[in-house]
Every structure is written in C-alpha cells, then in structure tokens.
Amino acid sequence: MTYVEVPGAKVPIRMWTDPTSVEDAAMQQLRNVATLPWIKGLAVMPDVHYGKGATVGSVIAMQGAVCPAAVGVDIGCGMSAVKTSLTANDLPGDLSRLRSKIEQAIPVGRGMHDEAVDPTRLHGFSTAPWEDFWGRFEGVADAVKFREGRARKQMGTLGSGNHFAEVNVCDSGSVWLMLHSGSRNIGKELADHHIGVAQSLPHNQNLVDRDLAVFISDTPQMAAYRNDLYWAQEYARYNRTLMMNLFKDVIRREFKKAKVSFAPEISAHHNYVSEERYDGMDLLVTRKGAIRAGSGEYGIIPGSMGTGSYIVKGLGNAASFNSASHGAGRKMSRNAAKKRFSTRDLEEQTRGVECRKDSGVVDEIPGAYKPIEQVIEQQRDLVEVVAKLKQVVCVKG
C-alpha cells in the first residue's frame, strides 16, 4: 500500500497500485474525493480507472453522508459464481450449442423476457421474500413508478457492456458457472434521479466537482435515497439469482446423464453502500468497482473475456475497509479500444473461447483491460486466491 498526501485533503489516499500508473483524470478525481468535508477514508484498488465523479475501483468511507456517484449508476452490480460437479472432460469439443442455449435462456443486451420469470418454477429458489420485495416498489421514487412492468421482465437478464455469463474451468479441472450483472435499467434510472436531486441541494453548490454531490444524514433526501438504493441493490441480487437458476437449468438439460449438482453460490456486489464500523466510528462505506473482503469472506475477481478470473477469500484488511478489487479494470476507454483493435485482434485474443468475435464487442477485448495477474499480485494483503478459472464459453450482450 502507498499513501498519497493531498494538499488540503481531509485524509490521505491509500493506494494498492503505483500512483504513477493511474491516468491523470482518475488521479484528479481521487484528489477531489479526498477533500470532501464528510470523508473519513479513501482506499484505491489496483483496478482503479476514471469514472463519473468518483473513480471505478475506489472505496470511500464517509460519516453522516453518502455520494450517489461514488456508488455508480448500475446500483448493486456484481458477480455470482457456482462450482458444478462437472469436469472439463464432461464438456463437448464444440461448445457453440451450449453458448446458444445459454443465450436462449438469458436475454442479453437490451432484451427482456416476454413474461416476467415465475420464481416458483425455479429449482431451489426461495420465494418467501419475493412478494414483499415487489410490494416495496410502491415506496421508490415516483420518477420510476411507471417502469415496474419493464423492471419485472428485465429481472433475470444480462444487459450489455462488460456484463457476461460464462462457463469456466478451474485449475483443478472443475467446471464453474459465472455471472456479472446489476440492477439493469431500473437501477440506473434511480441513480440518475437521485444524483440530480443531490446536485440541486444548497450544501453541494461549492463542491470542486458537482458529480460528487452528497446526501446528508437525517434529511428526507437521504432517507429517500437510501430507501431506493437498498431496493435497487436487492433487485440486482435477485437478478443474478434468477439468472443463475436459469443458467443451471440449461446445464441440467444439456448434461442430463451427468446428473449435475451445484455447490453453494458465491455472490458479491461491487457497486453498493454498506453501513460499517471502523476506528470507533459508524461509517457509510461506498464501494464502486470494489468487493467486500472481510476475513474469510469469498469473493470473485474477474479478468477480461479471454484471460480468466479468480475466486478469492478476504483477509480482512481494515486499511482497505475490508475491500478488494472488482476485476482487472480498464486501461483504455471503449472508444479508444474500438480505434486501436480490430475483429482480427479480438479473434486472436479470445482464441479457445466460445464467444462473440464481432465488431460489437471489440471494446471488451482483453487488450483494453489491465493484466488480471498483476491486479491480483498487487492485493496479496487483501485477499488469498482460492481458485483460478479460465472461461471456455463467454456470453455477452
């Protein structure tokens, strides 16, 4: 870890990467965050890069305040992974059919289910809190009330960008299923609504960056935001749970003879807010592109669509607010990647992976991301590696 002192800052910046390797725009965002009056700590993960207001790959601890832009607009975005009883030897040589079946079961991009998924028809899905969850939709911001029908149909869908569904093989030969997705468009609309509200408040008018507008505790605006935030985080969790169940059903059908069984699911948000206590203070900790890595807690740190991922266990490092990186992190923007790389480059860098290799996903090429091995090495005091996975099928929107 490296400490970076910022003139006029309330706290030093704790960095798990070389400060000189961070792009200038992202470094300025970190300096801006460190000057906020309410901040009590700032930890920067090795996958850090430029974002809206606050960098992706940062953990911000505040007392009595929370910054919506420090959560990210895809509230509750995160990962889920499940180890199966299958091994690499059970997989067919041609994985195109399996990829096609996954794409048929889980809508991608802007797609949605024709009808909302009925959770009572899914294996082992607990439906007890389901109606209560949707009942609380009546209490979210009026700005999204008319979106309920679409939000129900998008539950159990992947989205686009860096979201994915994968079949992986770990270093011991076991087959894993993995998902990356969030709260879909309903979470983004809630985030955008509340960022707009925060920016209009008097105490945010003189901030160095208007995107760092905060809500203050014990105000109606904070209460409204936290209500909608926690609902959206729950939506994201349910979204991944439904998708994983649909994913498992595909595997059961495609490998009937193997009578596949599944280990308990590992799931972790990496765009969210948590109430935690450090140094005798009750803090609101926002993780934007970071996972919680408390002692013994399992997490998932994915690489790009051609480089594999890691299952990790947290070491409970309080200096990072019990956090670790959420992935490899981009080293160039999507536009820059499209200009630099071609579909031929994509084909070469995803050789051996059954996935899209067209111009629509060139911006997700492995070369646009930091090396995942380096990112893992930089946080050896935050997590220990449990398993290394390599994708053989990758579905993207």
Q: What angle do CA 394, 395, 397 make, to 5 degrees?
A: 140
Q: Whole-model pTM?
A: 0.95
Find the helix or strand (DSSP H, E) in which 348 lies: helix 343-349
Mean pLDDT of 280-306: 96
Q: How far is C-alpha 225 from the geometric centre of its chain's CA atoms? A: 20
Q: Is it the case that residue 124 has pLDDT exceeding 80?
A: no
Which residues are CB-contacts of 133 (< 8 A; sequence separation ≥ 6)? 231, 234, 235, 238
pLDDT score recorded for residue 128? 75
378 vs 46: CA distance, rounded Å: 6
Q: Is it the case that residue 373 has pLDDT exceeding 90?
A: yes
| 49 flagged as catalytic | no
Largest Cα span, the chain: 65
- Coil, strand, or helix at residue 210? helix
- Are the beta carbons of 99 and 393 closer than 8 angstroms? yes
Which residues are CB-contacts of 6 (< 8 A; sequence separation ≥ 6)? 12, 13, 30, 31, 34, 35
Which residues are CB-contacts of 316 (< 8 A; sequence separation ≥ 6)? 293, 294, 295, 296, 297, 322
Q: What angle do CA 174, 176, 178 make, to 5 degrees?
A: 165
The reply to whether 74 sits in an annotated binding site is: yes
Place of tokens 């935001």: 225
Percent helix / strand / coil, the chain, rounded to 5: 35, 25, 35
pLDDT digits (tens, 9 = 90+) for 194-227: 999 999 999 999 999 999 999 999 999 999 999 9
Q: How many CA atoms lie within 13 A of 350 on its CB side?
A: 28
pLDDT score recorded for residue 121? 85
What sign results for the dihedral spanned by CA atoms 225, 212, 43, 304? positive
| Helix and strand numbers, DSSP H then E, in the chain | 9, 18
326 vs 16: CA distance, rounded Å: 13
pLDDT digits (tens, 9 = 90+) for 2-45: 999 999 899 999 999 999 999 999 999 999 999 999 999 999 99
Q: What tokens appear for 150 in the block?
A: 């679409």
Mean pLDDT of 287-292: 97
The reply to whether 328 sits in an annotated binding site is: yes
User: Please, which pLDDT band fits residue 73 given cuts at 50, 70 and 90?
Assistant: very high
pLDDT digits (tens, 9 = 90+) for 316-357: 999 999 999 999 999 999 999 999 999 999 999 999 999 999
Ordered by where they begin, the domains of the chain are 4-163+183-263+270-292 (3.90.1860.10)
The reply to whether 206 sits in an annotated binding site is: no
User: Please, which pLDDT band fits residue 123 given cuts at 50, 70 and 90?
Assistant: confident
**Would you list the DSSP string of 271-323?**
EEEEEEEETTEEEEEEEESEEE--TT-EEEEE--TTT-EEEEEE---GGGTSE
pLDDT digits (tens, 9 = 90+) for 126-161: 777 888 899 999 999 998 989 999 999 999 999 999
Mean pLDDT of 352-376: 96
The reply to whether 163 sits in an annotated binding site is: yes
According to DSSP, residue 75 is labeled T
pLDDT score recorded for residue 115? 95
